[in-house]
Structure 1
Amino acid sequence: MSQVSLAIRGFADEQLLMRQGGLYWVAVDRTRDAEALALQGLMALPGQHRAGLLWCGFYPEQLAEALDARSGPGELRLFEVPEAVIRPALKSLPSELRRAAIAPGGLLLLMLPATAWRTFDAAQLQQWCSGLRRWLREQRCTLLVLCHGRASPLHGELIRLNEHLSGLAQLYRQDGGIRYQSHFWHNDQGVCGAREFELELQASGFGLARAEQASPVVTRTDDQRVYLAQRAVLEGAATLPEQWSVFDRRIDLLQQAALARAASVMVAIENDQQVEALARELYALRERCGTALKIVVREIEPCLRYRDERLLMACGANIVVPFGNPLSRFFSLVDSVQGQVWRRRQASGDLESLLERLRAPTVRGLLTPREFLSALEQIYDGASGEIEHQLLRLSVRSVLTVEHCLHQISLRRFGDIATVLNGEVYLFLFACRNDGLELALGNICRLPWRNLFSDCQPLAELEELPCAALRDATNLPSELRLAPERSEAARVRTEMSAYTPQRSRLAIMDYCK
C-alpha cells in the first residue's frame, strides 16, 4: 500500500512522505492555511485508504465537501472534539482513536488550535507523544497533527522531542511569502535535517515557489568587495579603503549600483517623506541586480516607523540601521551582511499591491461592530505577513462601565479602530509589533490601561472573533464615545500645567532652600 504524504508540489519524497506508525506535527499559523494543507494531503490519498479527521475550533464541512469524488480516501470519518473537554479528550486520545476504525496504513488527521496544549508542561507533552506513538505503531497508522495558531513555547518544547516525533515542521507567512521550515523528517526514504523552503498557494494547494524550483543562476560576484555609499551615511569620514566609492546624490549612487551584482550599497534616509520613493527605487534595483546585492539603509534622522522599515526591507533592503548607531557600529553592521543572499519574495509587478497592503486604511476611532469587522476583512484579505497588527479583546473592570473606559481612549492614527460587543471592547492597532503593544496601549489610554481593563487577550486571526455576532450588530449605543481629540497646543498646555509653580508656603520654603 502506498505511503501517505503531505503532497506539497515540488518536494522530494524524503521531505513529505510519512511512514506507518509515525507521529508527524506541522505547526501552521493560520487556520485557513491548515485547512488548505489538510485538503491537499487528503486528496492525495488513494481510493483504498480510509482516513479520519479529528477537529476542534472550526467547522470542516467545506474541507470534506471539497474532496472530489474521483480523488481522496475511499472513506473519511469526521470526529469533533468539543472545546469544553479538549484537555481530557487529548489525554484519552488513543482510546478515542479506536472509534475511528482506521485500517492499517490509513491516515489520522488531528486539527486542533495550539491553545489546546496550553496546560501541558514539558513532561506531560513528552508522555503524550510517547504514548500516542506506541499506539500508532501497534495499529500501523499514521497521525498528522496540524496545530493552527501561534504558540512559540509549545514549538520550543516539540523541537526537543525528536525521539518521539517522526517529523516536525512549521508553515507560516513572513515578508510577503509563505515559508515552510522542516526541523526534522523521518520516513522510509531516510532522515532529513533542518531545511527551509518558500511555498506558493494556488487553487490546487501548496507548492514549491518558482524561485525555489529554478536552477541556481550563476551570477557575477567579482564586485562583492565593492562598497558604494551615499556621503550622508558616512558622517564625514575622511579615510576610506580604495574599494569604497562615495556619491553626493542618491540618484548617482543608484545609477552606479544598477551595474553591480554583489556589491554593498549604502543609502541614507532623512525624513518620512522619502520612504515610498526610496522603496520604489530599491524595488527596481533589486529586480534588476538580483539577490546577491547587499543594500543597507541608514536612518540619518529619527523618521522611520515600524511600517516604514518593513516596507524598505520588503522592497529590497538587507538591513535598516536605526538612527543613533555610531559610525563604528554602522560599519560593523555592513560587515555583518557580507555573503548574504536576499531571501525575501519579490513578484514582478506586485509593488503596487505591496504598497497598498502596508498603507494604513483611512478609517480610525470607534466603529459599529459591522463596520469594524468589514474594515478588518479588508485589511487581512491578501495580507502576506510583511507587518504585524494587534487584534485585542479587552475586558472592562467590574467597577467600571464601558462608557468610562472609552472616554479614556483616544485613537489618533489611521488604521487604529475599536468597537464594543456584549460589554467587551475589541481593539485593532494597525502596524503594531507585539513587543511594542505595551507602549501603544500607554499612548492611546489616558489612564494606565490595567486600571481600565481586567484582561487583554490577543487574537491571532479573524476566526477568533465572534464574526456572526459582529456582523449582526449594526449599531452602537449613542452614549458610547471615545475621548475627544485634543489639539497639540491643548495637550502641551495640559502637560505644562503639571509643572506650574503653586503659590503655597511649602513651595516657597522649598525654593528658598
Structure 2
Amino acid sequence: MSSALSSPRKTAPPPGLLRSAARWLWPALRKDTAASATPTRIGIEGLPDGVGLLPPHVPVSLVAADDRSAALWFPALIEDAVAAGPVALVASSAPWADALLQRPALQAAYRAGRLQLWLLAPGLQAEVRRHGLPPLLEELERTGLQPGHALYVCDAQGLLSGLSVAELARVSRQLSALCRERLRPVVLGFFPPLEPEVLLPALRNLCQMSMHIATLRAEADRWSLGLERWNTDAGALFQTAFGLLHDGATDRLAADGTRTRGAVRELVEAVDQSEVIATRASVDGQRGVPGHWRIVDSLADLEVAAAASVAATVLIDAGQASDFESRARLVHQLRLSRPRTLKIVVRENLGKLRTHSEQALLQLGASTVVYKEVGFSRLLQLLQDINAQSHTRKVHPDYEQALDSFMPARERGYQPPAQFCALVRGMLDRTRGIGLSHSLVRLNVLAQIPHLDALRACHTARDGDLLTADHEGVYVFLFACREPDVELALHRLFTLPLTQLFASEATDSTDTGIRAMLAPLQESLRKGLPDYSAALANTPRPAAAAPAPQAAPAASPAPAGMPVLPPASGLAPEAAGSEPRALQPMAGGPGVQHRPIARRAVPRPSPRSMA
C-alpha cells in the first residue's frame, strides 16, 4: 500500500485545513510499503503484561503532565512507531517537529517516506466545532494518509479544547469509527501546559474517545506512568501506575519494577519494599530489632543510604526540640528526591514534638509520626501497616515556604497589648487553612492580686506562647494548642495554682472566636493600657506561695520613664479624662475554687458585668 507523496513543492500548497510539512522539511522519497503487523511499542522499555504495546482499532490518549516527561516520552514514542511501520504525524508546532527530526532514526524514516508530517492550520478547530473530524480526515487522505499508517496527533489538546459536551460526543463517535477502520494505532498526544485534573475526567467520561488513557509525570529523579484504563495480556487495568527510570545511554525511560494501584496509590510491588533504613537513635535500647534492617549512625548516613531507595521505609529519630530543623530538612529532601512510594517515619525518642512540629513534618513529606508512648512491637506493626502506602500530599519545593506556615512567631512570654494583638493575628492569618488549632484564654485576675504578680507567675518556654494584660485580666495565647489541652498547658505555664490568681476563665480555640476575643482588647488600647515590659524585666518574680487576701501590697511610685502599674486591687488606673469606675464584686466572691470557670468566649459580655 503506497505511502503519501512527500516531494518538495515549487508552488504554494492548495488552501486547506492542514499544510503538508514537506515544503519546510527535508525532501523524502516515494516508497511503497505494506501495512506492518508488528506490534507498536509505547516508547518505554520493560513494562510487563503487554502494557508497553499500543492497541489497534481503539483510540489511545497519552498525556505528558510536565515538560520533562514530554521531552523524553514523545520522541521515543514516534521512534517506536516508525520502527513498526509507516506513520502519519500531525503536529501543532513546526519547531517541535524540527527538533523531532534531529533524531537520526526519525530523520532516516522521514527520508525513506515512512514518516509523513503535517501541521495543524489555525482555522482547524473552528471546522472541527462545526463538522467534527471529517474535514480533517479528508484533508489528510487527500495529501497522503494511507490505511497502513499509524496516526499520531500531537498536540490534540489544541484540536479538542473549547468543544462543548455535545461536540466532544460527536468527535468521540467519529474517532471510534475511524479507529475500527484502521489497521494500526490511532494516538492522541497531549502536551503541557495542561490541567490533568480537568483533562483526564473528560477523557474518562467519553469512553469512545479514549478507551486507553496513560499519563506520564516526573517524580524526583524518576517518572511514573499512570494508566487510567488499559487493556493488557493479563486483563484490564484501572488506575495502575508503574515506576520508571531514565537510561542515559539510550535517552529512554524503562520500568524500575515498582507498581502502584488505586486513586490513592497503594504499593503492589517494588524491589526494596521490605527494606527499612533506621537511625541508631530511633532503635536505641530496643530488643527485637529485625536483622534485615539497615542501622546508620547519623542523618547524613541515612540520606546516603536512601539515595537509591524506591519503596523502602526510612525511620528517623525525632531527637530534642533543638534537633527539629535538621530532621525537617532531611524529611523535605528525601520526599522531593525520592519516589512517592518511599515511606518516611519520624519516631519520638527523647522528647515530645509540639503539635505544629508534627504537622510541619507531615507537610514536608513524612508518612507518619510515631509517638514516644508507642511501644516497639506496635511500631513494627505500624511499619507493616503502611508498607503499601504511597505519599499523597503535595510538598512545596521550597523548604522555607513549606515550613513557614507551621511555625509560630519567634516571640514568647509577655508582649505589650498592641504587639500581642498583632502577633496573634499574624499567626492566625499564616496558619489559616492548614489544620492547626490555637487557643486564646482570658483569665480575670482576682481583685486582691496585682497584675504584675499574675504576669510574673507565668513562665513561657516555647515560641508562640504569648501573654498580655488589660485593666481586668490576663490574656494567654497558646500556639498549636487544642482546646482539650488548654487546662494542662495553663498549669504548666503558671507557677501558682490558677485559683489563687484568677476568678474566672474564658477560652476559645476557633479562628473566629479568637479574633472576637481580641476585639475588646483592641478597643481598650484606644483608651490606653499599661505596658508591663520594663517592670517584668527589672523586678524579681515572687515566691511560689499564695498571697494573703487581706494584705494587698500598695503600689509604689513609678520611676521616671516606667509605665504606671496597676494598684494592689488588680485594677489599672483609668485612662486620662475618664470617670472613676466602681469596683464590681465577682460572682461567688474571691474565694479559692477547685477549678477555674471555663466557658466559650464568643459571644460574651464583659466579665466584670457578669456579677
Normalised to the residue count of structure 1, the TM-score between the two structures is: 0.49
Q: Higher Cα Rg: structure 1 or 2?
A: 2
Normalised to the residue count of structure 2, the TM-score between the two structures is: 0.43
Q: Which has the higher contact order (CA 8 A, sep 6+)?
A: 1
